[in-house]
Amino acid sequence: MTQKELEQLLGDMTLPEKIGQMTQLMGNFYEDDSSSVLTGPAGDLNISKEQLTYAGSVLSGYGAGELIRMQDAYLKSQPHRIPMLFMRDIIHGMKTIFPIPLAQGASFDPELTEKCAEATAKEAAVSGLHVTFAPMTDLVRDARWGRVMESTGEDPYLNSRMTEAAVRGFQGKDVKEPYRIAACLKHFAGYGAATAGRDYNAVEMGEHTLREYYLPSFQAGIDTGAKLVMTAFHTIDGVPCSVNRHLMKEILRDEMGFEGVLISDFGALGETVTHGYCADGTDAARKSLEAGVDIDMMSSVYPGSLRYLVKEEPEYMEMIDACVMRILQLKNALGLFENPYKDADPEEEKKIILCPSHRELARKASSASFVLLKNDGLLPLSEGKDGKKIAFIGPYVYSRQLNSSWAFTGDSRDCVSLKEAAEEIFPGEQTVYLQGCPMLGAEAAFLSGFGEEAKGALLTVTEEEKRNMLQNAVLAAKQADIVVLALGEHFLQSGEATSRAMIEIPEIQMEMFREIRRVNNRIVVILFNGRPLDLREISREAGAILEVWLPGTEGGHAVVDVLTGRVNPSGRLPMSFPYCVGQVPVFYNELRTGRPKIPGQSERFQSKYLDIPNEPLYPFGFGLSYTEFQISPVELSSQSMTPGGSIEARVTVKNIGHTEGTETLQMYLGDLSASVARPVKELKGFRKVTLSPGESREEEFQISEETLRFVRADGRFVSEPGTFRIWIGNSSQTENCAEFELRMNCRELC
């Protein structure tokens, strides 16, 4: 449709039709859909038959047949035949589940993420979906917050590149094209900074911090053309985001240039009353409109109160029209007026879902996300040719629950377990497989409200069975040359509403670890988890640690690929692993403080802890390989730069080991003095370099005046003259640096 036609359509619509477009309900409001999963309190919305008929978008539900039927029935009841939008959380895969977003962050490979998002969009589109509530682009620093698994980590630069990649992958160049779906950036804004890491909790954050760290990834997504943005649940400095006019109108729309559809989070408009900010539904409707929220997801604020609001205050009609126009434009951009089913096709669904090429991609993306945290020479394992006996022990040996709590549409029965994959490679007579202990002990009780999915975790094992499991595992470990221990969080221990105050591996698994360690010290730990954990004991006692996150459908194969060295690990941590929970939030790009801790100096009045180091156990950007790389000192093309110019920073990377491998070069910048204190260092570039043994390559990063910009106290994004430091290395703790000056004349300074 042309814009003129859309305007005519809007002019023709009745108020109930308009309010319908601004209302989103769950699929199971239309039929009994037991596969729908409510992600929050649905409440009693008091939706009338008429409101149900007009609601313009649906959350949850999938499957071409079902959604085609729903669309047909819907269109018949629509006076203007405006099609319905089908939206769902397709976060890291539809049926082929790719590694969780935090793991994708660890790959430092935006191109790979783009491919995963593209394959996800394809499976979702043929299943009838039009919009995914992804990517979650919130910056995360607090491992207690369960939703860190949905983010790509603690760094604004990495998050921005990953967000762009995901949006490109979902939407392509034109979302109308076949196999594309619209992306929704969430949650605007600052959701990752929930006080004390407790989900939905208030956020207290200065605007400088918000703009400097939390908004860049949203800006990157908007600039890449993301069609939707979702509001966040929390209050920021006392005002709920969902009705926060300053945040949504002045920052998101006016400053950041977002022109698409703004949707509330699940029930969030109604919760503004619970927050104690809006007096009632009408007040919430007024404030949401003023903030420019176009769609109310699953609350009764818009369907219940908008008509009363405009009756009393007709001037709000103009705002309603603006919201409806944006929604019509989105439907138009997806081509739904011409083809309301878009790509929904039961035949294509059969061919595309879980097709070999998607499985292959999932396997590659998983292994690329694994981070080798420690290796005392135990890895890679030989494939049995050396005659060594391997005992695979732990709850993740058999488990197929390798997806996450955000893979609603995935099915763990499609996953390949570690045992299944290992059996394809290792000779049967040299290997044993044992569970050793249940996944959870006392922690299982905390999952009691988690519905059907938690059943596996809650299965009770008698004390005697537990003893037997452990005894058998210890015996097998004693007889083995090497033990591969597959440990970790239950997949329901991370995700929404899963904050944890103790970020440890479940105690029952640690008890097993200790027993096994007593009889065999050649232990390789494979860690499955959705968040950084406290790994002090494991890192001290295990011979090797491979972080594999929640790796998705092809997880088992990918783990075996890396264990055997068929794939050399190249992932790098996208989030610091704290020394212990008392250090959280801990992140590499912190400010210096006036009394920084100087290594090697023991001064009393320094910014430090008495009992633990300042540094995390494993820092951002860290990860080992089966080979070793040497990075030469940083060389600069010049010691000074002026606006309009640039400096090239060069290093030579050499593979000095015995096997091919990939180094992730990371370029960090530090501004030594500015009108706002600047972080110790900040990531400004990265590159993956694959080299054969003995091979070396010169790599160059370009720095321009734009690279040096930051948010000043007055909110402007500019650079200031002075001395800068540039580091190029293989983690945020690199010391390999050089210095240069940015020079400006008076005119440039103003």
Question: Minimum CB separation from ligand BGC for residue 231, in Å?
Answer: 10
Q: Judged by CB, which is closer to ligand BGC: 39, or 96?
A: 39
Which residues in 183-222 contact ligand BGC (CB under 6 A)?
186
Sign of the torsion angle spanned by Cα atoms 312, 315, 320, 321 = positive
Question: CB 33 → ligand BGC: shortest distance, Å?
Answer: 14
In the complex, residue closest to ligand BGC by CB: 133
**532 within 8 A of 620, measured Cβ to Cβ:** no
Sheet holding 131-132, edge to edge: 261-263, 228-231, 182-188, 131-132, 85-88, 57-59, 23-26, 296-297
For residues 589 to 608, the per-residue mask of contacts with ligand BGC, x marking binding by CB under 6 A and - elsewhere, is --------------------
CA distance 337 to 25: 21
Among 559, 546, 555, 547, smallest CA distance to 425 is for: 559
Residue with tokens 């080991």: 657
Which of residues 39, 244, 404, 589 is near ligand BGC by CB under 6 A? Answer: 39
Among 266, 302, 668, 710, binds ligand BGC (CB under 6 A): 266
Name the minimum Å distance from CB 492 to ligand BGC: 15
Judged by CB, which is closer to ligand BGC: 104, or 576? 104
Shortest distance in whole angstroms from residue 690 CB to ligand BGC: 36
Question: What span, in angstroms and rounded, lies between the C-alpha atoms of 33 and 42?
Answer: 15
Please tell me whether residue 271 binds ligand BGC under the rule CB under 6 A.
no
Q: How far is the CB of 230 from ligand BGC (least distance, A)?
A: 6
Decide: is 265 part of the binding site for ligand BGC (CB under 6 A).
yes
Residues 298 and 40 sit within 8 Å (Cβ to Cβ): yes
Q: Are 84 and 58 in contact (CB under 8 A)?
A: yes
Closest to ligand BGC by CB, 232 vs 422, is: 232
CB of 146 to ligand BGC, least distance (A): 11
Contact indicator for 536, 569 with CB cutoff of 8 Å: no
The SS3 assignment for 380 reads coil
Query: At 77, which amino acid appears?
Result: S
| Residue 528 binding ligand BGC, by CB under 6 A | no
- Nearest distance from C-beta of residue 662 to ligand BGC, angstroms: 33
Q: What does DSSP assign to residue 624?
A: B
Q: Does 133 bind ligand BGC (CB under 6 A)?
A: yes
88: which strand partners? 132
Q: In whole angstroms, how far apart are CA 653 and each of 247, 410, 666, 675, 731?
A: 44, 41, 12, 36, 14
Q: Which is nearer to ligand BGC, 159 or 730 (CB)?
A: 159
Residue in 40, 441, 693, 722 binding ligand BGC, rule: CB under 6 A: 40
For the question of residue 714 being annotated catalytic, the response is: no
Residue 170 or 724 with smaller CB distance to ligand BGC: 170
Phi and psi (nearest 5°) for 140? -130, 135
Q: Which of residues 425-484 bind ligand BGC (CB under 6 A)?
A: none
Query: What letter represents residue 25's amino acid?
Result: L
The least distance separating ligand BGC from the CB of residue 187, rounded to whole angstroms, comes to: 6
Between residues 59 and 143, which has the closer beta carbon with respect to ligand BGC?
59
Backbone angles phi, psi at 540, to 5 degrees: -80, -40
104 versus 509: smaller Cβ distance to ligand BGC:
104
Using CB under 6 A as the criterion, what x/- string covers residues 148-187 for binding ligand BGC? Answer: --------------------------------------x-
DSSP 178-217: TT--EEEEEEETTGGG-GGG-TT--B---HHHIIIIISHH
Structure tokens at 547: 């972080």
Neighbours of 134 (CB within 10 A): 28
130 touches ligand BGC by CB under 6 A: no
Instruction: Tell me if 89 contacts ligand BGC by CB under 6 A.
Output: yes
Cα 324–chain centre separation: 30
Closest CA to 335 of 183, 225, 179, 229: 179
d(CA 479, CA 597) in angstroms, rounded, equals 47
CA distances in angstroms from 452 to 409, 447, 489, listed in the order given: 14, 10, 18
Gap between the Cα atoms of 714 and 716, Å rounded: 6
- Per the CB < 8 A criterion, the answer to whether 116 and 131 are in contact is no
Residue of 89, 142, 265, 671 marked catalytic:
265
Nearer to ligand BGC, 114 or 265 (CB): 265
Among 142, 155, 496, 671, binds ligand BGC (CB under 6 A): 496
Residue 118, interface with ligand BGC (CB under 6 A)? no
C-beta contacts of 280-288 below 8 A and 24+ residues apart: 280/305, 281/305, 282/308, 282/309, 282/312, 284/243, 285/309, 286/313, 286/316, 287/243, 287/245, 288/242, 288/243, 288/264
Instruction: Name the phi and psi angles at 690, rounded to 5.
Output: -100, 125
**Closest by Cα among 523, 511, 452 to 482:** 523
Q: Which is nearer to ligand BGC, 366 or 405 (CB)?
A: 405
Q: What is the number of alpha carbons within 13 Å of residue 399 lying toward its C-beta? A: 28
405 vs 731, which CB is nearer to ligand BGC?
A: 405
Nearest distance from C-beta of residue 42 to ligand BGC, angstroms: 11
CB of 40 to ligand BGC, least distance (A): 4
Residues in the interface with ligand BGC (CB under 6 A) total 9
Residues of the shown chain interacting with ligand BGC in the complex, contacts defined by CB under 6 A: 39-40, 59, 89, 133, 186, 265-266, 496
- Active-site positions read 265
